[in-house]
Amino acid sequence: MPGDSGGGGGAGEQGYTVRKGDTLSAIAQHHYGKASRWHAIFDANRDQLDDPDLIKPGQVLRLPAIND
């Protein structure tokens, strides 16, 4: 799938390479089916993100598995 970077860290975790125009809520909508889950992506990437509105193309974000 475009933008996916393959394997990640923990069980069920994926990687995602940010593309121009992406937002955390759009990435969450695509991967989790709910834009409101953007905070899970932000929390999993606190080591490289200080502001959820400042993601950059080329960044590789961890997408944690979410258990409902």
Token digits of residue 43: 């929390």
Closest CA to 59 of 14, 1, 3, 9: 3
Distance CA 59, CA 40 (A): 16
Q: Please give the angle made by the CA atoms of 40, 50 and 67, to the nearest 5 degrees.
A: 5
Q: 4-63 belongs to which CATH class?
A: alpha beta
Token digits of residue 35: 């834009």
Token digits of residue 48: 């490289």
Q: What is the pTM of this model?
A: 0.80
Q: Which pLDDT belongs to residue 5?
A: 44
pLDDT in tens, 1-24: 444 444 445 567 899 999 999 999
